[in-house]
Amino acid sequence: MIMKFGEHLRKALIKNYSFYYIAYDDLKHQLKKKLKDSDYEWTNEFEEEFLAALETELDKVYSFTKVKNTEVNRRIKDAEKYVYEVVDALKNPNSSTKPLELDFDELEDELSDIIADVHDLAKFTRLNYTGFQKILKKHDKTTKFALKPIFQVRLNAKPFYKDNYDNLIVKLSKLYDLVRTRGNPVKGDSSAGGSQQNFVRQTTKYWVHPDNITELKLIILKHLPVLVFNADKEFDQEDSAITSIYFDNQDMDLYYGRLRKDEGAEAIRLRWYGGMKSDQIFVERKTHREDWTGEKSVKARFALKENKVNSFLRGDYTAAQAFEKARKDGKKSMNEIENLEALAKEVQYSVLKHKYRPVMRSFYNRTAFQLPGDARVRISLDTELTMVREDDFDGNDRTHGNWRRMDIGVDYPFSQLPEKDVCRFPYAVLEVKLQTQMGQEPPAWVRDLISSHLVEAVPKYSKFIHGGATLLTDKVTLLPFWYPQMDVDIRKPKIEQDYGILRQQNKIKSSSSGDDMDEEELLGDDYGRRYSTVHFSNDINPLEEDLDENSPLLLPSSYASRKTDSPVADFFLRLYGKFLHFFNDDRTFTIKPGTNFDLNTTFRSKLPKGKVICVPVRIEPKVYFAAERTFLSWLSIGMILGATATTLINYGHRSSLVASIGFFISALFTMGYATYKYIRRTLAIREKKVTDYSDKLGPNIICALIAASTFASFAFKLTEN
């Protein structure tokens, strides 16, 4: 059952703000009524009336948003004053009145209430913006008048929906951290902890729908402060910008290597932080290592001045020259300088040898959460993610001989670019980095966060690979496994009603609620499990209006268990089911939610012509050894059968001739079939094919041949006597 937006709006609206939402149902009713009354002829007069109604709704929403923004900012300013007063009184030994624990509790409640206000305001703006887009789409579809592009100008003039509240979040994070730590926030280097030994480091990536971004940030800041590298500077949106230029060649060798997870696959990029005026450019190289090598995938980098980048890429500016000043300054050890210089030489050599050049830019605004000096938990959220073409593969020189194009900066959404040159990723990317001791569980709040309805797990997601697959369609044929998932709404219903940003009174109410049950509770546990699992199949979101019945779901089980009234019949049905289970493998019998065995088959209708989904398969040396051991085991059986056949011919009676022929045929079949299967398996392993490596036919045939040969030996012996 797909929920219409009007119904979704009524259920999702905040009661205290209910009179200030867009009157979506009224506008839709106005459309239908005037069309019906005029025999479905939409006139200019109707258009003017509808536009006036839209203007009224926009003024209402914009004015309310502006007032609430002012109110929230005032509350934050007042809270900031009281927080510093309490903290100063605590640290001042001459203070006559020392703050009590109750004072900090009250401040924490006040900040939590402000956080709830920010969450409600963000939810309010997102819902109203969606409402305007929906009603404009419906208007243009039913009346054939193109109002949406015109009214978008009005929306841009009153951009109530464009505030991402990052400035407020940074302030709230600082204040909440002060209160949580009772005036003693953790201090230290943000990069500390990276050299600790005997730790397990785990990185996981998730997609976050724009509707959930602000709520996610507010939840995290209650546990981790926003990481600010320059606390003395007032926060500027440009400070959060991160831009990277990825390199590759005409054959897209780096793209394919990273996509297939080849051993030693590299990614080379140039990165800078902030705006285009940043003078420090980091040259980074990421190298993939398979686990069986005993090595870890590494990321190494060194810094260059912006005016030296072009000459470095041409080979005119050498690695030795780049680190000449560092040697003279003596601020770094000689060993560190030598390692960086070696890295620079290797990168420069690779660029020149393989003719790497800029192919794609990634841009995003990053909000990082981490305790300074403590790298056990680091969470980053990348928003406004955009990939832009930098290549000249189509004959269009976008960089004009420079190492990056200069017609854009950090001016998201880069509206000046042609659509073929830009890919605006629809979701934010959440990255959770955990560094825990052996056997230690991650913090409970992190486990709750990544299992909540706010995120969608996408392991090994890569901005470079996604940009290459989306923008360089003429150059690549292999697509990442998450590519078909782009057509699926990742929003999921809220499973736990008490999870998220809640006001104190709502928490009390939810914990003591009576027998009232909502739609999700009535559906039972299966509903929760269905939408809470990590999935890469096309589970439909019931809140999405635009999906249709053609969206593929999980592949159904072909052999569901059946029940009859007869115990004998049930026995044979179960036996038959096990038989099918054996010969058709588990995928046809029990399919776990979120599992796709063949993405190219499942999403064939959604794939562009000539494209194939790449599913990386990890191949370790022991896999080859296992295939060899299996082959040798089959050969040993064949040799035993051959020896048996030879013995029967040489030392048996005339009746043993038939049996020896049977054993001889069995031996030949075993060795021939083993050789065939070994070659096929080795090729499949080498090519990293996602296929079925089990053999359900060969062993059964050999058993049948041996049984027939043995039976024939006894049969002819009896007839001889």
The rounded distance, in Å, linking the Cα atoms of 412 and 346 is 34
The rounded distance, in Å, linking the Cα atoms of 661 and 658 is 5
Catalytic residue among 463, 606, 688, 689: 463
Cα–Cα distances (Å) from 427 to 118, 207, 303, in that order, read 21, 6, 30
The rounded distance, in Å, linking the Cα atoms of 2 and 526 is 18
> The tokens 């789409």 sit on which residue?
137
Q: 588: burial class by Cβ within 10 Å (0-12, 13-18, 19+)?
A: middle
The rounded distance, in Å, linking the Cα atoms of 80 and 662 is 91
Please say if 463 is a catalytic residue. Answer: yes
Cα–Cα distances (Å) from 96 to 90, 106, 366, in that order, read 10, 20, 43
Nearest to 204 by CA among 379, 383, 425: 379
Nearest to 428 by CA among 74, 126, 15: 126
The rounded distance, in Å, linking the Cα atoms of 567 and 575 is 12
> The tokens 């009859």 sit on which residue?
564
CA pseudo-torsion sign 157, 158, 161, 166: positive
Q: Which amino acid is at 431?
A: E
The rounded distance, in Å, linking the Cα atoms of 183 and 170 is 17
b/e 126-150 (16+ beta carbons within 10 angstroms → b): bbbbbbbbbbbebbeeebebebbee
Contact 466, 425 (CB under 8 A): yes
Q: Show the tokens assigned to 322.
A: 């780049």
Q: Show the tokens assigned to 256.
A: 């394919």
Contact 455, 419 (CB under 8 A): no
Contact 402, 429 (CB under 8 A): no
Nearest to 176 by CA among 128, 130, 217, 232: 217
Which residues share a beta bridge with 282? 271, 303
If phi > 0 it is left, if psi is from -120 to 50 it is alpha, else beta; for residue 377 that is: beta
Sequence-distant contacts of 129-138: CB under 8 A, at least 24 apart:
129/155, 129/160, 129/161, 130/5, 131/5, 131/9, 131/21, 131/22, 131/24, 132/22, 132/54, 132/57, 132/58, 134/5, 134/24, 134/545, 135/22, 135/24, 135/27, 135/28, 135/31, 135/54, 138/28, 138/31
Q: How many helices (H) and strands (E) does the chain have?
A: 22, 12
Cα–Cα distances (Å) from 583 to 556, 579, 694, 695, 703, in that order, read 18, 6, 10, 9, 16
The end-to-end CA distance of the chain, in Å, is 77
- Alpha carbon of residue 687 to chain centroid: 26
CA pseudo-torsion sign 363, 369, 373, 375: negative
> The tokens 């900031």 sit on which residue?
80
- Alpha carbon of residue 630 to chain centroid: 38
Which residues share a beta bridge with 377? 434
> Could you give the residue numbers annotated as active site?
463
